[in-house]
Amino acid sequence: MPSQIIHLLNDRLTQNKIDLPSEQKEKILVFLGLLEEWRETFNVTGHRNFEDIIDKDIMDGLYAASETRTHLKEVKTVLDVACGAGFIGLAFALFNPFKITFLDADRKRTNFIRYVLTQLQMPQHSVIHARLEAKKDQKNTPLGKYDLIVCRATWKIDEFSNTCIKYVHNDGHLLFMAGKNQKIDHPQTLELSGLAADPIISYTIKPKNYERQLIFLKKSVSREIS
């Protein structure tokens, strides 16, 4: 990996006060190298340079993983929904002793993530090529339940919660990673389905001051919308 990318990663970790062991930083650099290798064949991510990938994807994922470790002590299993190239799930896997399941409907992306997990020697995590709405994995096995389900802002919050609530354990959480202006449009609907915001955390990714928020939704009862 070019020295300027190593310097860029270290600089962003320092500016955002994210403490990551050298072994985990090395895995991020290996991941970036694999991403560059696969981008020659197909578009794994919409970002065109490493600076955007580190600023908008890697730092975002690491910040979410760090806050999850701080606020949720009982999490063991995580589902990364519509995981794309795996930025968020990988950040959670590096930062916490969680078992991560990556789920995406794009076969090329899930193949990429499987390759990444093999290269990083992380066999404890799994990959599912499917849509969550299908309710089954690629082997026609019903999807299980998780302690935490995380998604970046590819859905509206209400749609995300309605679709995902049945796959999270009681007292588990949904985590919606959103821009600063996104809000819970219908809090009463969340309450009726047994969800409550717990907590909502705003943060800024430096040095470009991307303003983001983490919306944690706790499932307190088993009133699931079918």
H or E element, residue 65 = helix 59-71
CB 214 within 8 A of CB 201: yes
Nearest to 85 by CA among 116, 52, 60: 116
Q: What is the pLDDT of residue 67?
A: 93
Cβ atoms of residues 100 and 80 within 8 Å: yes
List, in sequence order, every residue forming a beta bridge with 100; answer none if it has no partner. 78
pTM summary value: 0.92
Residue pLDDT, tens place only, 99-137: 999 999 999 999 999 999 999 999 999 999 998 888 777
What's 226's DSSP letter?
-
| Second CATH level (architecture) for the domain 3-219 | 3-Layer(aba) Sandwich (3.40)
207 neighbors 15 (Cβ within 8 angstroms): yes
pLDDT at 222: 54
pLDDT of residue 182: 84
List Cα–Cα distances, 153 to 14, 59, 82, 147, 179, in angstroms: 26, 16, 10, 20, 8
- Per-state percent for the chain, helix, strand, coil, to nearest 5: 40, 25, 35
The pLDDT, as a whole number, for residue 224 is: 52
Q: How far apart are CA 149 and CA 80, in angstroms?
A: 6
- Residue keyed to tokens 């955007």: 52
> Hey, what are 185's tokens?
């449009």
Please list the residues that pair with 214 across neighbouring strands: 177, 201
Whole-angstrom CA distances from 129 to 52, 76, 133 are 26, 22, 12
Question: From residue 48, how far is each of 53, 108, 213 by CA, in Å?
Answer: 8, 18, 24
Output the pLDDT for position 167: 94
pLDDT at 223: 53
Give the whole-angstrom CA distance, residue 166 versus residue 226: 8
pLDDT string in tens for the chain (226-residue length): 789 999 999 999 999 999 999 999 999 999 999 999 998 788 788 777 899 999 999 999 999 999 999 999 889 999 999 999 999 999 999 988 899 999 999 999 999 999 999 999 999 999 999 988 887 777 777 889 999 999 987 788 888 888 899 999 999 999 999 998 888 777 777 787 889 888 899 999 999 999 999 999 999 865 554 4
